[in-house]
Amino acid sequence: MRELTYSSVVQQAEWVASGEVSARELVEHSLEAIDARNSSLNAVATIMADEARLSADALDAQGRNSSELGPLHGVPMVIKEENDIAGIPTRYGSAAYSTPARADSEVVRRLRAAGAVIIGTTRMPEFGIWPFTESEAFGMTRNPWNLDRSPAGSSGGTAAAVAAGLVAAGIGGDGGGSIRLPASWCGLFGLKAQRGRMSLAPNADLWRSLGVIGPITRTVADSALIHDVIAGTTAVDRFHAAPLAGSMYAAATNETVPPLRIMVSTKNPSGGPSPDAETTEALKRTAALLATLGHEIIEADPAYPKLNVPFQLQLSGGIGDEATRADKPRRLESRTKTMLRIGRPLRRLGGWAERTASRLGEPFLDELFGRVDLLLTPTTPTAAWPIGQLQDAGALAAIRRATPVSSYTSVWNVLGNPAAAVPAGFGADGMPLSVQVIGPPNGELAVLALSAQLERHQPWAGSHPATG
């Protein structure tokens, strides 16, 4: 049998299509890995073993009678538990939800239509508020590279599951960095696509204009393939991105990347801490590699607009939106209740926050991407922090600890641009380092092409954690 552990989405789909491996074998392999490792990781929340086996058997039967298989036919995946899965409570990382969803979300529906097997849901902090996957109800999720470190958040359960080899890919969500931060701390690739690229149905939005849904993977090609499958909005969605000129998977697998103008900056857009020495060195190494590949490197700092207030106002509104869906609101965490109380009078300012972000952001983006094609920054100021960041922390203490972690990522949620966390080596302690590639509006194809070029010249997918 093929080596299944740490195999890619593309490999697994090809093996199933060729008959070398069955969907049932992939599912059983993932279930065995979850059984062996999830107790130490706390990455997977709900294990859908019986349903996954039935789905795999149906896909295998279909494969024997059909020459037209979906691009994810037979591939097991996990889903962050802010996405509806029929028959499963959409918990948002909270004990305040117990009512099963009546239908799949649009993203889950499209994954199933492409042949993916949903094998379980993944841990997140309550409402995805924090960049640490910890909760009072469900405990702490741990980083496979070091079980005493955090996988970040809020899609930390998905990232830990992928990094540990439980699955080849999983779905996360990103309202302030929640795909990119876990990808950064877990040595994975994570793209936050353009606002309006993916459907958020049955919800009109996620954290007002901030949030998007997307995969966390080990390879760029896997991410691009899944993005192609789930791209596109519905009438329910508030935001609709302009169609791309081509396939994301094609961009990620085309080895020809034209010379680009790339600005490199360590300036913190949120006014937070500068990157530490190892993160700075990883950024410099990446820039030097890009220069040898023929790109023009421009060392300069963007004149970032001040967007912290619009971000906080939209975050507050998003928390309030999700709290209204709780059927057992008394079970909300005490710090979440404090956030709701503080944010209640501010929620009416959500429209003002979106308009302000647009007014400040549009001239900034026009100027920046009139000068350069892409921007390269740190993803996070440091490698993974120790677990327990939220332990005994009230709302204000949690905010103080959380703010620096997302200080390089949240601005791109306010502005809506595509941005990707790209692995960039390891620190002296063996923990992954990362850089962030940011593109112009609707610039996913360029972001993916450059990320794939970096992957070809400094491959990371063959490096695996020893723990978990």
Which residues participate in catalysis according to the annotation?
80, 154, 178
Give the pLDDT confidence score for residue 187 in this predicted structure: 98
The answer on pLDDT for 54 being more than 80 is yes
The answer on pLDDT for 1 being more than 80 is no
Cβ neighbours of residue 302 under 8 Å, at least 6 residues apart?
263, 265, 267, 269, 364, 368, 375
Give the pLDDT confidence score for residue 67 in this predicted structure: 76
The answer on pLDDT for 307 being more than 60 is yes
If one compares 68 and 19, the residue with the highest pLDDT of the two is 19
197 closest CA partner among 362, 441, 446: 441
Average pLDDT over residues 75-82: 98
Give the pLDDT confidence score for residue 399 in this predicted structure: 95
In a domain, 468, yes or no: no
The answer on pLDDT for 365 being more than 60 is yes
Q: 170 φ, ψ to 5°?
A: -150, 165
- pLDDT (tens digit, 9 = 90+) per residue, 28-37? 999 999 999 9
**Secondary structure in 3-state letters for the chain:** CCCCCCCCHHHHHHHHHHCCCCHHHHHHHHHHHHHHHHHHHCCEEEECHHHHHHHHHHHHHHHCCCCCCCCCCCCEEEEECCCCEECEECCCCCCCCCCEECCCCHHHHHHHHCCCEEEEEECCCHHHCCCCCEECCCEECCECCECCECCCCCCHHHHHHHHCCCCCEEEEEECCCCCHHHHHHHCCEEEECCCCCECCCCCCCCCCCCCEEEEEECCHHHHHHHHHHHEECCCCCCCCCCCCCCCHHHHHHCCCCCCCEEEECCCCCCCCCCCCHHHHHHHHHHHHHHHHCCCEEEECCCCCCCCHHHHHHHHHHHHHHHHCCCCCHHHCCHHHHHHHHHHHHHHHHHHHHHHHHHHHHHHHHHHHHHHCCEEEEECCCCCCCECCCCCCCCHHHHHHHHCCCCCCCHHHHHHCCCEEEEEEEECCCCCEEEEEEECCCCCHHHHHHHHHHHHHHCCCCCCCCCCC
In a domain, 137, yes or no: yes
CATH number at residue 191: 3.90.1300.10
Q: How far is CA 214 from the centre of its chain?
A: 6
Report the percent of the chain where pLDDT is more than 90. 96
The answer on pLDDT for 368 being more than 70 is yes
* pLDDT band for position 61 (cuts 50, 70, 90): very high
When divided into structural domains, the chain yields a total of 1
Give the pLDDT confidence score for residue 63 in this predicted structure: 83
Cβ neighbours of residue 312 under 8 Å, at least 6 residues apart?
none
Report the percent of the chain where pLDDT is more than 70. 99
One-letter identity of residue 467: T
In a domain, 3, yes or no: no
- Domain range for 396: 9-457
Give the pLDDT confidence score for residue 417 in this predicted structure: 98
Q: How many CA atoms lie within 13 A of 362 on its CB side?
A: 5
The answer on pLDDT for 95 being more than 80 is yes
Give me the chain's average pLDDT, please: 96
Give the pLDDT confidence score for residue 388 in this predicted structure: 97
In a domain, 464, yes or no: no
The answer on pLDDT for 196 being more than 70 is yes
* pLDDT band for position 467 (cuts 50, 70, 90): low
In a domain, 394, yes or no: yes
One-letter identity of residue 383: A
The answer on pLDDT for 413 being more than 60 is yes
In a domain, 174, yes or no: yes
- pLDDT (tens digit, 9 = 90+) per residue, 253-289? 999 999 999 999 999 999 999 999 999 999 999 999 9
In a domain, 465, yes or no: no
Give the pLDDT confidence score for residue 50 in this predicted structure: 98
In a domain, 462, yes or no: no
